[in-house]
Amino acid sequence: MGEEMKNTNNSECPSDLYDKFCASNSCTEILELFDRMCESLSIAPPRIGGADHHGFYHRFKSLLRTTKSMSLWTKLDKRASESVYADGNACSKNKVLIIGAGPCGLRMAIECAFLGAKVVLVEKRPQATRNNVLHLWTYVPYDLKALGAKEFYPRFCTGGIDHISIRQLQSILLKTALLLGVEVHINTTFNDIIEPTDDAHHGFRADISPVDSPVSQFDFDVLIGADGKRNTLKGFKRKGARGKLAIAITCNFLNKRTTRESLVQEKGGFNYLYSLQMFKDLNDKTGIYLENFVYYKADTHYFVMTAHKKSLLKKGVLKEEHADTSKLLGRDNVVYEYLVSYAKEAANEMTEYKIPDLEFALNHYGREDVAMFDFTSFFTAEHSSRVIERHGHKLLVGIVGDSLQEPFWPSGSGCAKGILGVLDAAYMVKQWGDGVDPLQILATKESVFRMFLSAWTSHSLFSKPQEFTIDPKTRYKNCETDFLKPKDVKYLYDDGTGV
């Protein structure tokens, strides 16, 4: 097929820019290339107080018709045609602010764009830098391929085990979100909600840093917290469960893509219970005592393992024993050089030294990409949604991703459950756009949240991921969306009277 497109600004060729945009893995570069593409096509990207988001995707699509872009448009059009989006009119009057451009914030932005809402996303960092790799449950590759994962990253899910690096996933989703008309502001931090006052001529706004950000002027009626484990949004209590001490180490090494590297087998998950002898032999030989171990080959060679405290003390990684885990793993108690050598030795041993010359990838501090995390306790949000009403303005608030439930990385729950929670939240936004009674929306959402919480493996889901939509009934087995009634969720409706 021939390449056909309008280039009203002849300085740059849109198809060349699009190729660069597809290949880029840097958040700032993706944003810059997107703006340059828009300029070369003489199309204004959606902006607060500027160009409208309605119809942006269709205008862009009609101007950029290369062989490469056509395959993406076909996929996005198919997704957009799902009846649940009502041709992009389901939420065409709603304005959504999303906090955080992690995988879940970006995935949420895409759903809200399909629903037709004006979507603004703020991210406090300038770049996505995490090399770590996410294991994907069966349905996730279907979900991501339908959004152009293969177009932006042809290597996506070509190996034996489905996985993707966090950074790569963010890049893919950022590109799709931009093309669908989402407005993304990096280096922009959400601090708090600003409630409308009696005499204010605007609705709910956000306290944003920097203060002169245009996002400070954005009135929204939906706010989604996708800002990770630390969750800045107030009003969402958590409950924690403390388990047995679990110390995870992650590390990334350069993948030089040599033939020898390509022959090394990935290891989807060795657990102590099933591989007792192997872990015992490793301990006898090296003093490294692991409880489980995962190795994925992606843009990097990625390893995640849980290590016994005793062996970390014995190998000098931890200086002293502490009953308090935050002190045990505190910066002052960890000898970074020994952590580096512990991780490298474990990676070499567990892959039988088959990866030649393991060389660390660098993290965003320019140091060996190795980190140690505490998985001893897990938190879960007590609820996933609320509504605030002030002076006639109503705000729907939800949380998704790691803010909703802390993931256990070796099981891949972060991404898999993260996207499930996003789809649940998108359904809630759709109901808001449809004008359903707010208490009913909250009751449905919290009923769905119960199913979300109990979905710990992909077995809790239907087996045809191609049929998954934002409607929970298409995804969860035994879906009970009316388990809770409006009277049960009154405490989630805050009208300022404190009742």
- Phi/psi of residue 45, each to 5°? -70, 150
Site residues (CB under 6 A) for ligand FAD, limited to 332-351: none
Instruction: Using the minimum distance from each CB to ligand FAD, give the nearer residue, 102 or 465.
Output: 102
Q: How far is the CB of 323 from ligand FAD (least distance, A)?
A: 25
What tokens were used for 80?
């957009």
Count of chain residues binding ligand FAD (CB under 6 A): 31
x-or-dash string of contact with ligand FAD, 240-259, rule CB under 6 A: ----------x---------
Instruction: Using the minimum distance from each CB to ligand FAD, give the nearer residue, 105 or 141.
Output: 105
Residue 297 found at the interface with ligand FAD (CB under 6 A): no
Type of residue at 380: T
What tokens were used for 165?
């690096």
Site residues (CB under 6 A) for ligand FAD, limited to 413-472: 414-415, 418
Instruction: Using the minimum distance from each CB to ligand FAD, give the nearer residue, 408 or 462.
Output: 408
Instruction: Using the minimum distance from each CB to ligand FAD, give the nearer residue, 130 or 445.
Output: 130
x-or-dash string of contact with ligand FAD, 182-211, rule CB under 6 A: -------xx---------------------
Of the candidate residues 402, 424, 446, 471, the single one contacting ligand FAD (CB under 6 A):
402
Instruction: Using the minimum distance from each CB to ligand FAD, give the nearer residue, 148 or 412.
Output: 412
Residue carrying the six token digits 């570069």: 29
Residue 290 found at the interface with ligand FAD (CB under 6 A): no
Report d(CA 317, CA 326) in Å as an integer.
Answer: 15
Instruction: Using the minimum distance from each CB to ligand FAD, give the nearer residue, 412 or 472.
Output: 412
Report d(CA 248, CA 293) in Å as an integer.
Answer: 9
Q: How far is the CB of 452 from ligand FAD (least distance, A)?
A: 14
Site residues (CB under 6 A) for ligand FAD, limited to 72-131: 99-105, 122-125, 130
Q: How far is the CB of 220 from ligand FAD (least distance, A)?
A: 14
What tokens were used for 130?
């995490």
Report d(CA 136, CA 41) in Å as an integer.
Answer: 36
Report d(CA 115, CA 123) in Å as an integer.
Answer: 22
Q: How far is the CB of 122 from ligand FAD (least distance, A)?
A: 5
Residue 409 found at the interface with ligand FAD (CB under 6 A): yes
- Output the furthest CA–CA distance in the chain (Å, rounded): 73
Instruction: Using the minimum distance from each CB to ligand FAD, give the nearer residue, 125 or 322.
Output: 125
For 179-194, letters b (16+ CB in 10 Å) and e give bbbbbbbbebbbeebe
Of the candidate residues 111, 151, 183, 227, the single one contacting ligand FAD (CB under 6 A):
227
Residue carrying the six token digits 């995935």: 107
Report d(CA 29, CA 25) in Å as an integer.
Answer: 8
Q: How far is the CB of 202 from ligand FAD (least distance, A)?
A: 21
Question: Cα-Cα-Cα-Cα dihedral of 186, 188, 189, 192, to 10°?
Answer: -120
Taking a C-beta distance cutoff of 8 angstroms, is the pair 369, 363 a contact?
yes
Q: Which residues pair with 251 in a beta bridge?
A: 303, 370
Residue carrying the six token digits 């405490």: 491
Please report, in angstroms and rounded to a whole number, the separation of the first and last CA atoms in the chain: 64
Point out which residues bind ligand FAD (CB under 6 A).
99-105, 122-125, 130, 132, 134, 166, 189-190, 226-228, 232, 250, 304, 401-402, 407, 409, 412, 414-415, 418
